[in-house]
Every structure is written in structure tokens, then in C-alpha cells.
Structure 1
């Protein structure tokens, strides 16, 4: 069981690190900070609830079953973080949010104190690492401690589920998907942990033995539920930037032909090789560098090259819009061919010559991508070799 619980803790810890990848920004945003707290405390809860951890805690403290009130207190803190997250999600005035947050901390703080006090009053000298809830279900004070922590966590789970269901009807996209995953996780937590634990404890009260619900069923189900909730938390926050970086990576690679064509004319400083950049930042640098190169090549754009290439492209059956892009790409390739030539040897454009209307009209990355794709045309290859103007006669 420890392996399953530790795996859940590891995945939860990874989720919290991903959410907290920018500490300053996360701390300035109460919603992000609350989300990070929920996932991080969940990871700690799973770590402490593993039998190996419980045994180590008991041995280090010298108090039999001390891991139980520690774990139950962490579960209560986890429930409190859920409630605070709900408060931040619902929004409102800062004063109201602060008041409700402090009230939640006070209620669950009192619950944690009650758990510790009840444990100190109870007679629990037999170490139980997996079945403590059912083994001590009829023991004075231990019985009340177990009921309290299950009640506190159960109320939190139900309230969170209701809020997520209501909110899910008002949103779309990744946030709606994330809320669905959270609801699935909450259902697993409610059925596989709360109901299973309570059923096993009540069965002990009535003289029956359903301990397997608490010891065998609950741990893997609650681990799965926690993972579903964590994915639900992470998905709305990480999916949009992930999609952006994925698209940026594809566009960065698609711009490679254009960069190879004009990159030698760019004067933009290159980023340090030792500095690792995300795909979106790399795409932005490439766009800026290409625009810089286009400005450097603009004096060499020739109208005669453009006109001949346009005629060729149209004669080959390209639609007018596509033919214009090919013609501009041919003009660009011809200008890039002369970029390194001395000023008195390289042909210059006539006053008021052609511009790259594809870039001007589409703007951003789209125009550059169209040019990069057009560079594969045979018409552009001819211009690159200098044969386009000669074919005009």
C-alpha cells in the first residue's frame, strides 16, 4: 500500500511544483496560492499516511500511533485549504474574502486541536499502521477523534462538489474540463474514502467486521481521486500555455526556410547559447530577427522581379492571392542573393518600389509563415538563381 500512496504523493507534489513554478506571481494571486496549497498539502497527507511513514513517525517521536493524529490533522488542514479555495473561486470583496478565510482557518484549527486533545486522552498503546480507524472504533476518545476528522473532511467534500457543479454550468473550455475532473475526484473521495471508512467504523460499532473497506478499498480509491482532482487543478492553468508553446514550436520550425533565406542580413543580437528559452520566446526572437532582416533587404526589393514572378506563378495555375505571395517570396530571395554584394555592384530598388504586402496585410506570424511556405516554389528557386528577370524578354 505504501508504494501506491507514495506514487500519489509524488504526482501531487509534481502538480504543486508546476503550479508554483513562478513563486512571486503565485503568491500575488490568492487563487493560485490557494490551489498550490491544496495540492501541496494533499501530497504531504499521502506521504504521512503511508504505513512506512507512520511507523517512522511513531519511532522518532517515541509515541505509539502518533502518526494517526498527525495524519488526521493534515487531512483537516487539507479540507480547510479546499474551503479556502472555494472562497477564492467564488470571489467577492477583499474584506469578505479575508473574513471567510479567517473563519475557515478558525473552524478547522479548532478541529485539529480537538483531534490532538482527544488522542492525548485516549488509551491507544497498540500500534496499528493500516487499520487504526476500525481497531479503535469503540475506544473512548479515539472513537470521537475518528468521527471528527471524517466529518470535517466529508462536509468539505460535499460543499466543494456542489460548488464545482454549479460553476461547471457557467464555464467552457479547459476550465470546464478541469471542473469535471475535480468532480470525479470528489466522488471517488466521497465514495471510496468517506463512505467506505464510515461504513467500516459503523460496522465495528455494531459488532461486524468490514475492515477491508477501510484498509484495502479506501487507499487506492482516494489516491485515484486525489490525482483526478490534481489534474483538474493543473489542467486549466497549464493547458493554455502548453498549447501556446506547442503551436509556437511548430511555427518556429515552419519559419526555418525563411530564416535560412534572410537570417544572414539580420543584425538583432542572438540570445546567449547557455540560456534556455521556451518555444514562445524563441519564436518571438525569430520573428523580430526576420523583420530586422526584411528591413535590411528592403532597399534591394525589385519591382521587375516581382512582376515576372507574379506572371509565372499565375501561368502555373496558382490563385491570385497565392501568386502574389510567391512573387514577393521571389523578390525577397533575389534581394537576399545580393545582400552581401558591395553597394555599387548589387542592384537597388527603384524609388517607391515593392513592399512585402503579405507581411503588412497579415501581420504577426501569419504573413511570415506564408512567405516561408512560398519559398519552396520553383518560381522562387529561379529567382534565387537570378533567372527570373531574364525570362521577361
Structure 2
């Protein structure tokens, strides 16, 4: 059982590390900070609840069952952190948000204090690592302590359910998906963990033995519920960044033909250890280097090559935009060949702005790169086929 609980704690910790990947920025962002605090406290709850941890804590402190108030206090702090996270996520005027956060912290601070005081007043000399809730269900002060931590956690989950249901009607997209996952996790916690705990405790009061609900059913359901909630909290914050990096990696690869053509003339400084950088950083470096190379090649642009290739593309049935891209690809290939061979710039030069430089981002460069990829003979590198062959086909000789 301890291994499963520790595994859940590790998953929580990894999620927190991903969300807290920029510590300086996250500390100044109440939403990021409260998200990380809630997930870290959830991980600590699992660590504290593991039988191996409970035994170690009891031995180190010399107090029998000292792990119980520690775990229950940590669970109450996690419940408070979840409420604070929802408050920050919902947003609003800062004074209103601050007052709501302080009230939640004050209420659960009183609850944690009450849990500790009740434990000190109780007679709990028999160490119980897995069934403390049911074993001491009828013991004075321990009974109240158990009910208090369960009620405090139930209140937080009920509030979370109400907020998620109400808010999910007002938002869409990933935020709605995240809210529904949080709602699912809260319902799993309410039904799978809390109802089973309440049932097992009440059964003890009435002289029945349903301890398996508390010892065998509740812990895995609590782990599943907490993991689902953590995914719901993290998904709206992490997925957009993951998708952006995925698109950046795709664009980086699709710029390959263009980069292969112009990299020999780029004067941009090399980026160290590019393989270990995030895809968006790699894409940005490649964009800058390509733009630098295009400026270097601009004097070698031969507009006769471009116009000939454009006319040929139009006659082949391409759209004006596709014809322009094909013509610019042919002209760029010719310019790269001339620059690599150290030839003189052509006479037919003049100011011309490539489509790739007219649109923001990498989309224009990607289109140009793919146009290069589609050129007959794969004219994607200096020394490829002569771009002039892409202009006007020769008339067949008639004898």
C-alpha cells in the first residue's frame, strides 16, 4: 500500500515541477503559486498517509499515532489550498480575492488547531497504521477529531463541486474540460473516499464491522480522485504550452529545406546546444538565421527568373498565391547558387519583398520552404538544378 501511495505522491510532485518551471515568474503569479501549493500539499498528504511514513513519524517523535494529526492536518491544509486555488482561478477584484483567501486560511487554521488539541486530549495509546479511523471511532476526543477532519474535507469538496458546475456553464475550451475533470475528481473523492469513511465510522458506532471500506476502498479512491483533480488543474495551464511547442517542432522540421538552402550564407551566430533547447526556442533561432540569410541573398535576386517561374506556374494551373511562392522559391534557389559561387549579382535587380517577410511568425517561411521542397528536381540546396529551367519551356523544334 505504501508503494502505491508514494507513486501517487511522485506523480503529484512531477506535475508541480512542470507548473513551477519558471520560479521567479510563478512566485509573482497567485494562480501559478496556489496551483503548485495545492498539488504539493496533495503529494504530502499521500506521503504522510503511507503506513511506512506513519510508523517512521511515530518512532521519531516518540508519540503513539502522532502521524494521525499530522496527516489530518495536512489534509485540511490541502482542502484549504484547493479553495484558495479556486478563488484565485475565478479571479475578481484583488481586495475581494484577498479577503476570501484570508477567510479560508483562517477557517482551516482553526480546524487544524482543533485537530491537534483533540488529539492531545484523547487517549490513543495503541498504534494503528491503517485502521485508526474505525479503531478509535468511539474514543472520546479521537471521535471528534476524526469527524472534524472529514467534515472539513467534505466542505471543501462540496464547495469545489458547486463552483465547477456554475463556472463550467460560463466558459468553454480547455478551461471547461479542466473544470469537468476537477468536478469528476471531487465527486470521486466525495463518494469513493468520504462516504466510505463515514459509513465505516458510523458502522462502528452501531456495532458493525465495515472497516474494509475505510482501509481497502477509501485510500485508492482518494488517490484516483486527487490525480484526476490535479490533471484538471494542470491541463488548462500546461496543454496550450505543450501544443505550442509541438507546433514549433513541426514548423522547425518543415523549415528544413529552406534552411538547407540558405544556411551557408547566414551570418547569424550559431546557437549552442540547439538539440537540448525547447522546440519554440529552436524555431525562433532558425527563423532569425533564415531572415538573416534572406537579407544576404537579396542582392542576388534575379527577377527574370522569378517572373518566368511565375508565368510557368500560372500556366500549369496554380493559384496566384501558389505561383508566387513557386516563383520566389526558384528565384531564391538561383540567388543561393550565385552567392555560393561568388558570382556577380544579376543586372535585373531591384527592391522586392518576399511573401515570407510580409506575414508575422513562421508561417510565411514554412510556405516558402515547402515550395522549395516541391520544386522539380528538389532544388533545395546550392548546386541543385538550374532554376532557369523552371521559367519558360523551350518550343519544340519542328523540322
TM-score (normalised: structure 2): 0.93
Distance across 2 between alignment mates of 1:59 and 1:236 = 42
- Shift of the 275–205 alpha-carbon distance from structure 1 to 2, 3 Å rule, reads same
For the pair 1:359 / 2:356, whether they are aligned, the reply is: yes
1:265, distance to aligned residue in structure 2 (A): 1.2
1:94, distance to aligned residue in structure 2 (A): 2.5
Where structure 1 has 5 or more consecutive residues not aligned to the other structure, the ranges are none
Distance across 2 between alignment mates of 1:312 and 1:327 = 9
Alignment partner, residue 24 of structure 1: 24
Could you say what secondary structure the match of 1:364 adopts? coil
Alignment partner, residue 248 of structure 1: 248
Judge conservation of contact 1:88–1:97 (CA < 8 Å) in 2. Answer: yes
- Residues matched between the structures, number: 390
Q: CA RMSD in A?
A: 2.0
Alignment partner, residue 194 of structure 2: 194
Judge conservation of contact 1:330–1:380 (CA < 8 Å) in 2. Answer: no
For the pair 1:73 / 2:73, whether they are aligned, the reply is: yes
Alignment partner, residue 347 of structure 1: 345
For the pair 1:373 / 2:381, whether they are aligned, the reply is: no
- Cα displacement string for residues 134-177 of structure 1 (whole angstroms, at most 9, x for unaligned residues): 00000011001000100111011101110011111111111111
1:349, distance to aligned residue in structure 2 (A): 4.6
Alignment partner, residue 258 of structure 1: 258
Judge conservation of contact 2:297–2:339 (CA < 8 Å) in 1. Answer: yes
For the pair 1:322 / 2:338, whether they are aligned, the reply is: no
Bigger shift: 299-308 or 154-163? 299-308
- Cα displacement string for residues 282-338 of structure 1 (whole angstroms, at most 9, x for unaligned residues): 111111111111111011100111122223333444333212211110000000001
Alignment partner, residue 152 of structure 1: 152
Alignment partner, residue 41 of structure 2: 41
Bigger shift: 231-240 or 270-279? 270-279
Judge conservation of contact 2:314–2:323 (CA < 8 Å) in 1. Answer: yes
Distance across 1 between alignment mates of 2:170 and 2:315 = 54
1:387, distance to aligned residue in structure 2 (A): 5.8
Distance across 1 between alignment mates of 2:378 and 2:361 = 23
Distance across 2 between alignment mates of 1:355 and 1:2 = 65
1:352, distance to aligned residue in structure 2 (A): 2.6
Distance across 2 between alignment mates of 1:239 and 1:107 = 34
Alignment of 1:174-185 (within 5 A): 174-185=174-185
- Cα displacement string for residues 350-369 of structure 1 (whole angstroms, at most 9, x for unaligned residues): 3435442x224444312211
Could you say what secondary structure the match of 2:263 adopts? helix
Where structure 2 has 5 or more consecutive residues not aligned to the other structure, the ranges are 395-399
Alignment partner, residue 397 of structure 2: none
Could you say what secondary structure the match of 2:21 adopts? coil
Judge conservation of contact 1:203–1:210 (CA < 8 Å) in 2. Answer: yes
Distance across 1 between alignment mates of 2:86 and 2:360 = 42
Alignment partner, residue 214 of structure 2: 214
Judge conservation of contact 2:304–2:348 (CA < 8 Å) in 1. Answer: no
- Shift of the 201–2 alpha-carbon distance from structure 1 to 2, 3 Å rule, reads same
Judge conservation of contact 1:69–1:119 (CA < 8 Å) in 2. Answer: yes
- Shift of the 64–387 alpha-carbon distance from structure 1 to 2, 3 Å rule, reads closer
Distance across 2 between alignment mates of 1:138 and 1:62 = 24
Distance across 2 between alignment mates of 1:378 and 1:89 = 54
Judge conservation of contact 1:327–1:380 (CA < 8 Å) in 2. Answer: no
- Shift of the 375–169 alpha-carbon distance from structure 1 to 2, 3 Å rule, reads same
For the pair 1:313 / 2:313, whether they are aligned, the reply is: yes
